[in-house]
Amino acid sequence: MSNSFETQGVIHSIGDTTEYGNNGFIKREFVIRVTGEGVNEAYPNYLAMELVKDNCGIMDAYNIGDEIKVHFNLNGRLWSPPGKPEKCFNSLQAWRIESLAQANQNSVPPGFDQGPPLDAYDDDVPF
């Protein structure tokens, strides 16, 4: 079982969809520069992520420079090559991506969610 996480960032690169082996397994890799609360811009943090199988097409809707929120699973595998030390491989498998630009356009700017100004109310109240 894998754990589900989310992060946000700006798309740095988008790879092509690649087929592996003879069984039709496909994967698409992309890299984001992490943004958001608590990020130190002096030390940028880049994450390599991947989409697999039917999810590879999700990236078709995005471009380099877009700010996105990525929902992903953290997966790890052990590999023991004959005669060599065991290795552990980790992957961040994205399964949902949301545009933060659309989310920001749909949100109300601060200060405008309070209702109309007090002087806009009708003073002819019947009580």
Q: Could you tell me the fold of the domain covering 3-107?
A: OB fold (Dihydrolipoamide Acetyltransferase, E2P) (2.40.50)
Per-residue burial over 78-112, b if 16 or more Cβ lie within 10 Å, else e, is eeeeeeeeeeeeebbbbeebeebeeeeeeeeeeee
Per-residue pLDDT of 77-117, as tens digits, reads 999 999 999 999 999 999 999 999 866 665 544 444 444 44
Per-residue pLDDT of 32-83, as tens digits, reads 999 999 999 899 999 999 999 999 999 999 999 999 999 999 999 999 999 9
pLDDT in the model for residue 25 = 93
What's the average model confidence in pLDDT over 20-25? 90
3-state secondary structure 23-60: CCEEEEEEEEEECCCCCCCCCCCEEEEEEEHHHHHHHH
- The residue ranges of every structural domain in the chain are 3-107
Whole-prediction pTM value?
A: 0.75
